[in-house]
């Protein structure tokens, strides 16, 4: 299997005790690359230290909507400076994760939107894709990315919207990150949607250490679980083998990021 974890947080302290082992095990199972998504300014150095310690790891820079009350407007200026600093770095792949999270009790919609739009503008300026976190805000996110359309598109992480919204994202050049939520039998709506989504729009992700799949309930999630997640998703779709799904989703992500695509002869 040729797999890429399009969204994880391997820099989190949850992995301090065994990060190298996790990376080795993941590589052994075919996880060729991983994208580490940034959440707040004070953790950017930790993330980039992790990225630079492994050739398989790629990194982003950005301000996560969940932590809006920790961000300062000055962080946007710092973000711009860091983007200038890392602009030529081969492992910088996107701005993220950014977005809108209206499920939060303390949502502060206007403040979230301020940071989201400012970071979409930076994606334009620096010609980078974006990795977008959306909860209960697909209409608003679509509105923002229609107005400030980042030319490189991006990924809607942990997709949980409708079929129609998926089509709108598709038109705007956005892929959909599919994580372990569908592994739970109770996720009926998502499991019914997944076979209808076009294969060329999907990428795989773990969001580890969060979003533990049903087969590892209550445990730390990890990039090592990606092959199993891929198998479960292939089962839910029912039209493709896990090996084919791995190849296609990796190919989709490589196309978005401008990376070398998996060799056609590896296509199962
Ligand atoms: Zn995340």
| Tokens linked to 259 | 């990376």
| pLDDT higher than 90, residue 107 | no
Sign, CA torsion 247/253/256/261: negative
**Helix spans in the chain (H):** 19-28, 44-52, 73-86, 109-126, 138-147, 163-171, 188-193, 226-237, 242-257
Reported as a single tens digit per residue, the pLDDT across 152-179 is 999 999 999 999 999 999 999 999 999 9
Residues with CB under 5 A from ligand 1 (ion): 37, 207
Local confidence band at 266 (pLDDT 50, 70, 90 cut-offs) = confident
- Helix locations, 93-184, DSSP H: 109-126, 138-147, 163-171
By C-alpha distance, which of 226, 232, 241 is closest to 10?
Answer: 226
Distance between Cα 64 and ligand 1 center (Å):
8
pLDDT at 262: 84
Domain boundaries, the chain: 3-266
Cα-to-centroid distance, 131 and ligand 1 (Å): 9
pLDDT average, residue stretch 34-46: 98
248 C-alpha to ligand 1 centroid (Å): 22
pLDDT of amino acid 199 = 96
Task: Tokens for 48, please give them.
Answer: 């980039």
Residue 268 pLDDT: 82
Render pLDDT for 78-92 as a digit per residue (tens, 0 to 9): 999 999 999 999 999
Return the pLDDT at 216.
Answer: 92
Fold of 3-266: TIM Barrel (3.20.20)
Question: Per residue in 3-37, pLDDT tens?
Answer: 999 999 999 999 999 999 999 999 999 999 999 99
Q: How far does residue 265's CA lie from ligand 1's centre (Å)? A: 32
């Amino acid at each position: 299997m040729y797999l890429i974890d399009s969204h994880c947080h391997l820099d989190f302290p949850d992995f301090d005790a065994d990060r190298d082992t996790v990376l080795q095990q993941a590589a052994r199972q075919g996880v060729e690359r991983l994208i580490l998504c940034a959440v707040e300014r004070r953790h950017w150095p930790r993330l980039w230290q992790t990225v630079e310690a492994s050739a398989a790891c790629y990194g982003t820079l950005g301000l996560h909507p969940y932590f809006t009350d920790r961000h300062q407007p000055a962080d946007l200026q710092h973000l711009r400076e860091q983007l200038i600093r890392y602009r030529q770095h081969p492992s910088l792949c996107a701005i993220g994760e950014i977005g809108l999270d209206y499920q939060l009790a303390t949502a502060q919609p206007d403040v979230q939107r301020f940071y989201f739009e400012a970071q979409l503008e930076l994606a334009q300026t620096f010609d980078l894709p974006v990795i977008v976190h959306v909860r209960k805000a697909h209409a608003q996110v679509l509105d923002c990315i229609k107005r400030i359309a980042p030319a490189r598109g991006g990924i809607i992480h942990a997709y949980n919207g409708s079929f129609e919204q998926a089509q709108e994202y598709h038109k705007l050049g956005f892929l959909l990150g599919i994580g372990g939520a569908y592994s739970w039998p109770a996720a009926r709506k998502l499991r019914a949607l997944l076979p209808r989504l076009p294969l060329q729009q999907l990428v795989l992700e773990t969001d580890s250490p969060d979003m533990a799949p049903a087969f590892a309930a209550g445990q730390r999630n990890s990039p090592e679980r990606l092959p199993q997640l891929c198998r479960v998703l292939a089962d839910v779709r029912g039209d493709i083998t896990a090996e084919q799904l791995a190849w296609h989703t990796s190919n989709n992500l490589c196309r978005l990021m401008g990376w070398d695509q998996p060799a056609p002869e590896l296509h199962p």
